[in-house]
Every structure is written in structure tokens, then in C-alpha cells.
Amino acid sequence: MIRDRGRIKWTSMMLPEHVKLLRDWAKEDTYEQVREIDEQNLENMNVIISEAMEFRKSVAITHYRHKNYELVIGSIHFWDEMNQKLHIVDRFEEVHRIHISDIADVRVAE
């Protein structure tokens, strides 16, 4: 039986810079691309956000951050018109400031 060690046997012959570049390259494969949102979906999200602000409903917002999509569940505290950001307070009383262009999906969390 051949016991091949895979990449381990080759790393001793590589420069540390090359090993770092290979690790960075492998990490880049996990990045997600920004998805385009159509006009109808934008209008639907606008209605949900407006209702959530008016009736203090809890929402689940999927947004793009650090090259991946993240989910925040909480209530919308207020809309910052100048910076174009939603201020959201989650269950743990943490404040999230999400830029409106980074939002991918909004749903009512019941």
C-alpha cells in the first residue's frame, strides 16, 4: 500500500511566500459573488422594511459583508437617510448598521 502524504511532502520545498499565496488562493474560493436584485424584489423588500419600522416587527435581513452573505435577525431601530443605512438592534441588543445597497433579502421573522 502506498502512503502518499499529498501536499505535505511538497511544502518543505516551497518558499513560505508560496505557501501563503496557495492558502490565500484556496480561501478566495469560498468567497461569494454579489447577486443582482430585480425591481420587483426591491419593491417587496421596501414594503416589508416600511411595515417592520411602523409596527416594530422583527425582520431577518440577509446582507453582503466581507465577501460573504450574513443573516441578521432583529428589529429596525431607524433609517439613516444621510448615510443610507438601516440601524438594526438584534436579540442581544447589538446594533448593526447595514448599508442599503448591501441588502440581498428581507423577510418578516415570526
Collapsed DSSP state (helix, strand, coil) of residue 23 = helix
Residue 77 lies in a domain: yes
Residue 18 lies in a domain: no
Residue with cell 442581544: 92
84 Rama class: left (phi>0) / alpha (psi -120 to 50) / beta: left
pTM of the entire predicted model:
0.76
Residue 31 lies in a domain: no
Residue 101 lies in a domain: yes
Residue with cell 440601524: 87
Residue 14 lies in a domain: no
Residue 6 lies in a domain: no
Full pLDDT tens readout for the chain, 110 residues: 566 666 666 667 778 898 898 889 888 888 888 888 899 999 999 999 999 999 999 999 999 999 999 999 999 999 999 999 999 999 999 999 999 999 999 999 97
Domain that holds residue 56: 39-108
Identify the CATH number of the domain in which residue 59 sits. 2.30.30.100
Residue 11 lies in a domain: no
Residue 26 lies in a domain: no
- The tally of domains found in the chain comes to 1
CB 34 within 8 A of CB 67: no
Identify residue 5 by its one-letter amino acid code.
R
Residue with cell 441578521: 72
